[in-house]
Chain A
Amino acid sequence: MAIVEASASPALLEEAGQGRFRGWLRHLELIFPGALLVLIIGGCFVWPLVAAVPDPVGGDVLESNLPAFSEGHLLGTDPNGNDVWSRILYGGRASLVVGVAVNVLGLIVGGTLGAVSAHVGGLLDAVIMRVLDVLIAFPSLVLTLAVAQSLGPSQVNTIFALAFFSVPAFARVSRAATLRLREQPFMTAARLSGTSGRRMLFRHIAPNITPQLVTFSMLSMGIIIVIEGALSFLGLGIPPPAPSWGNMISQGQQALSATPMLVVWPCVVLFLTVLAFNLLGETLRARWSGR
C-alpha cells in the first residue's frame, strides 16, 4: 500500500528525520564556532609567542602604508609603519582580556547579587530590583563614556566602565534563574528539611544556575567586545599607540578612501570573534532549553 505523505500545511513543516546528516549538523553548531574561537584565541595569545611577529608598536615611519603581503608584513603596515597583522593579534588580546574580565566581574558580582536577591527575597530583593531598574534605565554607555573620560583611557578603566553593563545584566539573568529554580520540588524539599540558607545557595542554587550564566556570558562576550570597540573607537577605551580593534578602526577611518583595508581587517576579525561567541551562546542556549 502506498504511503501517503501527511497532507499537513507547509507552515507546520518539521525537520523530518534526515538521520546522520542532521546529526552532523547538530555537532557542526558546536564545532564551527568552537574551532573559530580556538583559532582566534590561539592566534592572539599563542602565535606571537611561537612565531616571529613584528612589534605592534614603534614601527618605522619610513615603512608606513605598505600593502598586504609585503616582505615581513603579512597584512602590510599602517601610517605609523606598524605591522597590521601584529596589531590585529595584540589588539585581539586587549579585546579578549577586557571581554573576559568584564564577564567574570559580571558573573561573580552580578550573578551573586541576583541569586542572593531572589533567594532572600523581601525587602532586600525589592531594593536590589529597584537599583537594577535604575541601572537598566540608565543609559549605561553614557555613564561608561563619562567614567572612561574622567578616569582617563586605560585598559583597567575600560573594564570597570564596562562592568556597569554586565553586572546588572547578569544579576537579572541570575535572579530569574533562581526564581525559576525555587519552584522546583527539590528546592522545596531542601527548604523543608531545614537546609541552611548558605548551604542552599552554594549546594543547590549555584550549581544549577551556573550553566545558564555561562551560556549568557557567551552572548554577553559578543556585546562587550563590540562596546569595547566602540569605546576605543571614540578614543575612550584602550589608548593608542597600544593596539585594539576599536582604535585600529578609528585610526583607519581617517584615511578610509586611501587605505580602506586598514579598516576592513579589524572589522573582519571583530565580526568573526563576535560571530563565534554568538553562535556558541545560541547553541548552548538551545541545548540547555532542550530544543
Chain B
Amino acid sequence: MTTTEPVTDDAREAAPGAVARLVHSPSVRLIARRLVAAVPIVLGVSILTFIVLSLIPGDAAQLLLGPEATPEQIAAMHRQMGLDQPPVQRYLGWLGGALTGDLGNSLVSGQPVTGELGSRLAVTGELVGLAFVLSLGLAIPVALLAAYKPNRLFDRVSMLVSITGLAVANYVIALLLVLVFAVQFAFFPAIGFVPIGQGIGENLRSMLLPAVSIAFPLFCFYTRFLRGDLVDQLRGEDYIVTARAKGIGPGQVLLRHAFRNSSFGLLTVVGLNLGTLIGATVIIEQIFALPGIGQLLLQAINTRDFVVVQACVVVFAVVAVLANLVTDLLYAVLDPRIRYGNR
C-alpha cells in the first residue's frame, strides 16, 4: 500500500508553489470539475424551458388584450414584446441579457424581472432557511436519542412518527396548521407576510406556520435517515468497536464517532433536498399568500408571462445546481477522505 502524499496546510511548506499546489489540490480540481459540469446543466435547463414555453399553446398578448382583440392588435403587441422574432434569435438575445444580469421585462407588467426576483428570492430564502433550521434542529437530537437506545420506546415512537409523518403532504399539514392555530386559536396569522422591516418578531410569526409545513416532512425524513445511519454504524463498523475498546462511554462513541461520520451523509441529503424543496415553496407560498418566488411563478404561469416563467425556472435550476455544488464542496472541505483525493 502506498502512502498518499499529504497536503498540509502548513504555510512554510505551501509558500514556494502555493498556486501550483492549490491548482493541483484535489479539492480545487473537484470544484473546477463540478463547476464545469454545472454550466451545461443550467444551459440545458434554460433551453428546455424555452422550447417548452414556445411549443405549448397560450399567448400572453391574447390574454392581455382580451378575446375581442383583432389580429393586428395582437401582432403589434407581439412586436412590442419581441415575440415576432425567430425563437433561436429570441433565445440568444435572452441568454445575452441573462449573462449580464438582465432577465428581461415582464410581458404583463413591463417591469424588469431581475429586480422583482431579488425581493422575492429573499422571502423564499427565508422560508426555506427557516424550514431547514427547524427540521435539522429537531431531527438531529431526536435521531441521536433514538440511536442511543435503539428499539426502546423513544426510538420506536420517533420512528412511528417519522414514517407516518412522511405520508403527510405539506399542503395537508399547512391546512391543518391553519385550521388549528390560526382559525381555532388565532395564535398566528393565517395568511399574509410581514417584512422583516416591520419587526423580526412579527416577521417570524408570519413565517412560522409556512416554515413548519415545509419542515415537518423534512424533519421526518432526516430523523429516519440519520437514525438509520447511526444504528448501522454502531452495529456494523469496526472503528466503533475500537472506540468502545478504548473505554470511552456510549455517548461519546455515538457523538464523536458515529455522528461525525453520519453528518457527511446528512449533508449530502440536505443539499439534494434544497433542489426539490422548490416544488414545496410554490404551493406553500400560495396557501399562505407569501410574496415569494413560487407565488410569482404561479401568477406568471396563469398569465402566460413566459419571460417571468423562464426567469423563475432558471433561478430554480441555478439554485438546485448550486446547492449540489456547495454540498460537494463542503463535503470536500470537511471529509478528509475526499479532501485528500482518496476515494
Assess A/B contact in the complex (Cβ within 8 A).
Answer: yes
Given A142-B309, A263-B175, check contact A279 B163 (CB 8 Å). yes
Q: Which of B56, B171, B258 meets A146, CB within 8 Å? A: B56
A/B pair count, beta carbons within 8 Å: 144
| A249 engages B175 (CB within 8 Å) | yes
Interface of B is mostly: helix
CB neighbours (8 Å) of B95 from chain A are none
The distance from the CB of A259 to the nearest CB of chain B, in whole angstroms, is 11
Q: Whose C-beta in chain B lies nearest to the C-beta of A134? A: B44
Q: Whose C-beta in chain B lies nearest to the C-beta of A10? A: B149
The distance from the CB of B281 to the nearest CB of chain A, in whole angstroms, is 10
| A140 engages B279 (CB within 8 Å) | yes
User: What per-residue 1/0 map shows which CB atoms of B52-67 lie under 8 Å from chain A?
Assistant: 1100111000000000
- Asked if B282 lies at the interface with its beta carbon under 8 angstroms from chain A, I say yes
Instruction: Flag the segment in B18-26, B73-81, B122-130, B296-304 that touches A.
Output: B296-304
| B320 engages A139 (CB within 8 Å) | yes
Q: Which of A130, A142, A256 meets B178, CB within 8 Å? A: A256
Interface of A is mostly: helix
Instruction: Flag the segment in B207-215, B260-268, B311-319 that touches A.
Output: B311-319
CB neighbours (8 Å) of B58 from chain A are 149-150
| Chain B residues numbered 220-271 whose CB sits less than 8 Å from any CB in chain A | 234-235, 244, 250, 253-254, 258
Instruction: Flag the segment in A65-73, A81-89, A266-274 that touches B.
Output: A266-274
Q: A residues bordering B, Cβ < 8 Å?
A: 9-15, 130-131, 133-134, 136-143, 145-147, 149-151, 222, 226-227, 229-230, 233-234, 249, 253, 256-257, 260, 263-264, 267, 270-272, 274-275, 278-279, 282
Pairs A-B, 10 closest by C-beta atoms? A150-B56, A141-B279, A134-B44, A275-B167, A139-B316, A274-B167, A226-B169, A9-B250, A150-B58, A257-B183
Pull 27 A–B residue pairs with CB atoms less than 8 Å apart, ordered by A.
A11-B148, A11-B149, A11-B250, A12-B234, A133-B41, A133-B44, A134-B44, A139-B275, A139-B320, A141-B279, A141-B282, A142-B278, A142-B316, A143-B49, A143-B313, A145-B297, A145-B301, A146-B301, A151-B56, A226-B169, A229-B169, A230-B279, A253-B175, A264-B179, A271-B167, A278-B167, A279-B163
